[in-house]
Amino acid sequence: MIFNTWSFALFMCLVCAGFWISPSGRWRQGFLAASGVFFFGYAYPPFLPLLLAVTLLTWWAAREAGRGRWMVALAGCVGVLAWFKYRHFFGAMAGGDWEAAYSKKIPMGLVPLGISFFTFEFVHYLVDVRMGRAAAGRLGPYMTFIFFFPSMVSGPIKRWQFFEAQRQQALAAGDVPWTEAGWRIAQGLFKKLVLADTFALLAKALADPAAASAGDLWKATFAYAVQILFDFSGYSDIAIGCGLLLGYRLPENFNFPYGRRNISEFWRNWHMSLSSWIRDYLFIPLGGSRTSRGRVIFNLAFVMAVCGLWHGAGLNFVAWGLWHGAGLVAWHAFRTWRGGRAPWPGAMVWDGLSRVATFLFVCVGWVFFAAPSLQAAFVALSKMGGLR
């Protein structure tokens, strides 16, 4: 069920009614977990036993807290993601089929609904319990956390300790911000159905750059930047609104990311639940920025390449991630060079120029994301740069 369908609207109404008329405590928790199980199974029932098995594995491993079991569970949930989403991609690369690897058209077959989001939440739970940042939960609450359907398809990526704290508060129906929830859902639907879908029509030139002019490609690039923002943030708004209807406040995901002063600020405000996950579970464990210059460059390039690959199995997504990694490296080097010195003369002018430059940098990166292949992205960029 996709958020912007009548079937989901009916499902959400039934779940909301059933949740609030259920007795509080375990009855509501069980009803919500069962609703999420149904939501996942509705997409493709044969995948349901697999997700239930991985859920039980990660719950058991966290409860036992043994290093060997923890590592097995971690490898298991990452391995499921790799098998379903990336085996054809890496197989094409290993077999020297670079034409397929460069393209988005690698046959992936059926992929479990929300597998990328599930995996990041599994990893977060295992790591935080292992590191003592969260307490292992009982099976019922953990099932509710994993199968919370509003965030299942497109996030935001939840954190167990904050979700569990809200469950324990057990809000009454009268405490739910019904108006805010309805507004967020309406706002998300408007973003998706009106804005994103309209700008998608203006971004079609990126699907076939060889047949488009440089001017058309620039227009399409800016249109795609608007489209993808409203597409992603629209789904997040709907998820947050649906979560509020069930007594849970999901993390915010987008905070006016365009117009920021540098690429680091952009990532602190774009897909925030993803960027914070990348920071906490990849970048900082690798040493973060508190290490040698060469290692910082590697860390930034590596985590952004993973970020790109997380979005899709194709070298164009890796190139998109590396593009942003290069921007973060450049910003880190510039900030280190400036140190704590006062702003340059004409700070207001510099501030405006930096915002424009950051926006243009992000927009150019979207070409890698939107083009059907890496070759097509290079054709588009060469035309846009006046090289063709």
Cα angle 277, 280, 281 (rounded to 5 degrees) comes to: 80
Longest dimension (CA), the chain: 67
Pairwise CA distance, residues 321 & 318, whole Å: 5
Angle between the 115-130 and 48-64 helix axes, to the nearest 10 degrees? 10
What are the percentages of helix, strand and coil residues in the chain, rounded to 5? 75, 0, 25
Query: Which residues are bridge partners to 3 per DSSP?
Result: none
Q: Which residues contact 220 (CB under 8 A, 6 or more apart)?
A: 202, 203, 204, 205, 206, 212, 370
Measure Cα distances from 60 to 54, 63, 68, 79, 152 in Å. 10, 5, 12, 17, 22
Angle between the 139-146 and 160-169 helix axes, to the nearest 10 degrees? 110
Pairwise CA distance, residues 109 & 89, whole Å: 12
C-alpha dihedral sign at 243, 55, 36, 144: negative
Among residues 117, 119, 126, the alpha carbon closest in space to that of 68 is found at: 126
- The continuous run of DSSP H or E covering 242 comes out as helix 214-245
Is residue 311 part of the annotated active site? The answer reads yes
Note whether 88 and 313 are within 8 A (CB).
Answer: yes
Q: Which of 88, 124, 271, 311 is catalytic?
A: 311
Pairwise CA distance, residues 290 & 287, whole Å: 6
| 155 backbone dihedrals φ, ψ, rounded to 5° | 80, -165
Look up residue 193 and give its DSSP letter: I
Pairwise CA distance, residues 55 & 147, whole Å: 9
Q: What's the number of CA atoms in the CB half-sphere (13 Å) around residue 127?
A: 15
Look up residue 204 and give its DSSP letter: G
User: Active-site residues: which are they?
Assistant: 311
